[in-house]
């Protein structure tokens, strides 16, 4: 998957699931559950115990046209570990050396940034898109203000984005949103997968309605 393919696919799906928990096996099960419901892009945070093993399991078992990546990727070693585990994209929480390293390997990179300077720097370093994080800090109005001077930067809103908040971020120009806690809940720590699937269907239905509205 090239960065351009990642960007096109993410723009179409409008969603990337963020899996972070206390158990790698449970995280893998949660990721596969949301993929089975229709999420195409899922990141597993490296702060999750046994995250690399979880990524490998997800990569081996993911439905066709579904892609697993890693989040909280900070160092060059992190990038190489993720590639070895089978991760197909990386996500950072901030400006880190992993951006340049990932880009040099041809990986799609979703780079964390908050300020205009950080967003510009992320793209200069080779990011495929900017993860506005934490998006809840400034809200949709802040995203809209960022996009005024940077209309060509693809932004993904992450951090405190639930079902009630997602539509406003899409309307403000985010190509996608990244639900974490509002989607995954406690499923990545051994919680209820049936409830997770129900939440996943709600997010997917919301994204589909938003897409229909844009086309009409």
Answer yes or no: are the C-beta atoms of 78 and 97 closer than 8 Å: no
131, 144, 171, 214: the catalytic one is: 131
**Catalytic residue flag (residue 131):** yes
pLDDT reported for residue 42: 98
Sign of the Cα torsion 28, 29, 33, 34 reads: negative
- Chain centroid to Cα 98, Å, comes to 16
CA distances from 176 to 82, 104, 151 (A): 23, 24, 15
pLDDT reported for residue 213: 55
Q: Which residues contact 64 (CB under 8 A, 6 or more apart)?
A: none
pLDDT reported for residue 214: 61
Give the H or E element holding residue 97: helix 97-104
43, 144, 171, 214: the catalytic one is: 43
Q: What are the tens digits of pLDDT across the range 13-61?
A: 999 999 999 999 999 999 999 999 999 999 999 999 999 999 999 999 9
pLDDT reported for residue 216: 40
Q: Which residue ranges form the domains of the chain, and what is each CATH number? A: 3-208 (3.20.20.70)
d(CA 136, CA 132): 9
Report residues of the chain scoring pLDDT below 50.
Answer: 215-216
pLDDT reported for residue 211: 75
């Amino acid at each position: 998957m090239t960065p351009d393919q990642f960007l096109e696919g993410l723009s179409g799906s409008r969603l990337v699931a963020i899996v972070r928990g206390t158990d790698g096996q449970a995280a893998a099960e949660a990721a596969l559950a949301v993929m089975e419901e229709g999420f195409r892009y899922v990141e597993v945070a490296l702060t999750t115990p046994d995250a690399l093993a979880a990524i490998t399991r997800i990569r081996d078992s993911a439905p066709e046209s579904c892609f697993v990546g890693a989040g909280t990727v900070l160092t060059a070693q992190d990038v190489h570990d993720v590639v070895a585990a089978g991760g197909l994209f990386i996500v950072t929480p901030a400006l880190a050396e992993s951006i340049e390293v990932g880009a040099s390997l041809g990986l799609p990179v979703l780079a964390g940034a908050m300020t205009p300077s950080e967003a510009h720097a992320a793209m200069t370093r080779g990011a495929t898109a900017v993860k506005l994080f934490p998006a809840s800090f400034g809200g949709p109005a802040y995203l809209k203000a960022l996009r005024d001077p940077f209309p060509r930067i693809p932004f993904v809103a992450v951090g405190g984005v639930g079902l009630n908040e997602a539509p406003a971020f899409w309307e403000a120009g985010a190509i996608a949103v990244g639900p974490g806690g509002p989607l995954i809940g406690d499923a990545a720590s051994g919680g209820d997968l049936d409830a997770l699937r129900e939440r996943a269907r709600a997010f997917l239905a919301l994204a589909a309605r938003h897409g229909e509205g844009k086309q009409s």
